[in-house]
Amino acid sequence: MNLLSIYGATAQGLTWTIFALGVFITFRILNYADLTCEGSFALGGSISSVFVVSLKLNPILSLFVALLSGLAAGAITGLLHTKLKIPSILSGILTMFGLYSINLRIMGQPNTSLVGNKSLIFMIKDILPTADELGIKDFTLQTGVVLVVGLIFSLVAIAFLYWFFGTEIGSCIRATGNNDTMVRAQGVNTDMIKIAGLSFSNGLIALAGALVTQTQGYADIGMGQGVIVIGLASIVIGEVLFLKAKNFAVMMLAIMCGSVVYRIIIAIILSWGLDTNDMKLFTAIVVALALSIPTLLKNKSLFVRKEV
Amino acid sequence: MLKFNGVYKTFNHNTVNEKRVINDLSLHLQRGDFVTVIGGNGAGKSTLLNLIAGVYPPDSGSILLEGEAITHLPEYKRAKYLGRVFQDPMMGTAANMEIQENLALAYRRGKRRGLRWGITNKEKQNYIEKLTNLGLGLETRMTSKVGLLSGGQRQALTLLMATLQQPKLLLLDEHTAALDPGTAERVLELTQQIVSANNLTTLMVTHNMKQAIQYGNRLVMMYEGKIIFDVSGVEKSDLKVADLLKKFEIVSNGSFANDRMILS
């Protein structure tokens, strides 16, 4: 275990923060386990890679288009659930499933490498002095760029979400996740609110997919597989780190920390020699345990006082 | 002001569980009426309120509110005209949100919501005043999460939320049934206070005959989806629980003892 791998893990965690925030919107705010994210994450990645590799367009533009595509993907899940009354999890799975074909169509192949093309990171590195001039290793410089880009995107997203969820519409989304009957009784079309929330979440997730693609230098059709668990792990770790967080901004900063800590934990465990193929099982077990803590605690208290 | 004309509602159509819950029901309310609705389980009291609120549409018949047909208007659209308090104290509020945030949501009932900030400082002052009037000390807990409040406090808050924007019609669906007797009494007093202060037209469903007699200017008894007894004015104020029981016994062929009606 060395400092360099922690440095790399931190940078990676920051580029994944927006993804975790997207999952947070559906899972914690809207109270909706949305599996669309696995498809929309890869959708953002596919679009971003094709923009840079085949179309030779500006990678920053690709982030915007990815965002828009994610908004559309989330809206489809929302429509399936609210208008066609398909159960919430199934709506997400259907969109995710369909997106697999769409993503393959977009890329035309299962994966796309950005090597030799103008990715976001290389564009920024072009402006900066070279690693040699700075007297550091190229890896250090590149990771540094990723880290700063990730941090800026995360902080801007947090600031934006803090504002958005404080507005009238944002308040309605939060309340709908709590109690949609009450929100309808207050004259709000909760179907539209759910569609907006899902759309918004998946827009962020697709943006994250594009950002991750730009920073890791490739997009893969399977890049979205199981990512919801990584998002949940980041949220849960963040919540454990900041147990007393009540302020919404602090809760989101906690998720950013959770995303970074998750990557550091993975880096440490890998350095102990755990097979990378076992990583998903490990993450699944950790998340399952973390999510069951409230229930386990409740059962314990039931055993303690058996009155009533 | 409310005209409920020849409404039918059947649940579980064409199944063994088919049940006609509202059977050719007509009910007209005058402005300023405080009507208590009483009846046994399955009499259709809650269904009546849900039909007015638009939780589901009627099979046939029409519902008019101040001349406007609301029969098929979606629930969220007619919410503009209606204040609602539910039987379950958890139903009327958002537990993970602050008291003031809940009030702010209710304050915007029937108004366009946009990207303005969800609550303003000016409003907060108004909420503090209104909460002080409730006399439950909630005005000092504006930023507490509603989930921390007791059932009675939540019902009182829901009542305030339902009337923050003056509704054309206040719908109370057994809103004290889940509370202990003392708290129920307090919430009913608050109800009376708020209804009188704003001169609200009110429809209050209850299981409790004594309450039904004590409150309001008109009493309606339901049985099997129909109104079987409708009194107001002096006749109502002279009414006794025994009279109601007798009435109920006649229509139900003496099976009322099985019912969960509260006789005290």
What is the ipTM metric for this complex? 0.89
State the nearest Cα–Cα gap between A282 and chain B, in angstroms. Answer: 32
Contact B79, B233 (CB under 8 A): no
Q: What residues make up the domain containing A120? A: 3-223
A 10 A CB-CB count for B118 gives 23
The listed range with the strongest mean pLDDT (A9-23, B38-52, B207-221) is A9-23
Q: Write the pLDDT tens digit of every residue in B101-116.
A: 999 999 999 899 999 9
Strands B2-11 and B60-65: antiparallel
Which is it for the CA torsion A91, A94, A97, A102, positive or negative?
Answer: negative
Question: Which of A132-141, B17-26, B141-150 has the least mean pLDDT?
Answer: A132-141
Q: A181 in contact with B at a CB cutoff of 8 Å?
A: yes
Give the mean pLDDT of A261-277. 89
Chain A residue with minimal CA distance to B100? Answer: A171
B258, pLDDT greater than 70: no
In a domain, A237, yes or no: no
In a domain, A279, yes or no: no
Using CA atoms, how far residue B261 sits from A49, B40, B251, B257, in Å, is 68, 6, 15, 8
Q: Write the pLDDT tens digit of every residue in B197-253.
A: 999 999 999 988 888 999 999 999 998 899 988 998 888 888 888 888 888 777 776
Closest by CA to A54, choosing from A123, A126, A113, A12, is A113
For chain A, list the strands marked E by DSSP: 111-113, 218-220
Q: In this complex, do B108 and A184 lie within 8 Å of one another by their Cβ atoms?
A: no
Give the mean pLDDT of A270-274. 86
| B2-81+167-258 placed in CATH 1.10.357.10 | no
Residue A302: its pLDDT value, please?
53
Give the mean pLDDT of B27-33. 94
Enumerate the domain spans of chain B: 2-81+167-258
Give the mean pLDDT of A1-19. 91
A303, pLDDT greater than 70: no
Residue that the structure tokens 């958002």 belong to: B94
In a domain, A158, yes or no: yes
Candidate from A172, A182, A185 with C-beta closest to B113: A172
For chain B, list the strands marked E by DSSP: 2-11, 19-29, 34-39, 60-65, 68-69, 82-85, 169-173, 202-206, 218-223, 226-232
Q: Which residues of B are less than 8 Å from A190 in CB distance?
A: 76
Of the pLDDT bands very low, low, confident and very high (cuts 50, 70, 90), residue B142 is very high
In a domain, A228, yes or no: no
Give chain A's domain count. 1
Give the mean pLDDT of A282-289. 86
Q: B101 in contact with A at a CB cutoff of 8 Å?
A: yes
Interface probe for B, chosen from A24, A31, A168 (most Cβ of B below 10 Å), is A168
Mean predicted lDDT score pLDDT of chain A: 92
A308, pLDDT greater than 60: no
Contact A179, B94 (CB under 8 A): yes
Closest by CA to B211, choosing from B191, B225, B196, is B191
State the nearest Cα–Cα gap between B253 and chain A, in angstroms. Answer: 38
Regarding predicted confidence, which is higher, B93 or A127? B93
Q: What is the distance between the alpha carbons of residues A157 and B260, in angstroms, rounded to a whole number? A: 54
In a domain, A294, yes or no: no
Residue B62: both structure tokens together: 């029409």
In a domain, A167, yes or no: yes
Q: Write the pLDDT tens digit of every residue in B60-100.
A: 999 999 999 999 999 999 999 999 999 999 999 999 999 99
Chain B residue with minimal CA distance to A174? Answer: B97
Residue B202: both structure tokens together: 């009110």
Residue B264: its pLDDT value, please?
41
For A168-301, list the strands marked E by DSSP: 218-220
Q: What is the distance between the alpha carbons of residues A203 and B61, in angstroms, rounded to a whole number? A: 44
A 10 A CB-CB count for B18 gives 10
Residue B26: its pLDDT value, please?
94
In a domain, A95, yes or no: yes
Q: What is the distance between the alpha carbons of residues A10 and B34, in angstroms, rounded to a whole number? A: 64
Strands A218-220 and A111-113: antiparallel
Residue A1: its pLDDT value, please?
61
Sheet holding B34-39, edge to edge: B82-85, B169-173, B202-206, B34-39, B218-223, B226-232
Contact B154, B93 (CB under 8 A): yes
Q: Write the pLDDT tens digit of every residue in A147-158.
A: 999 999 999 999
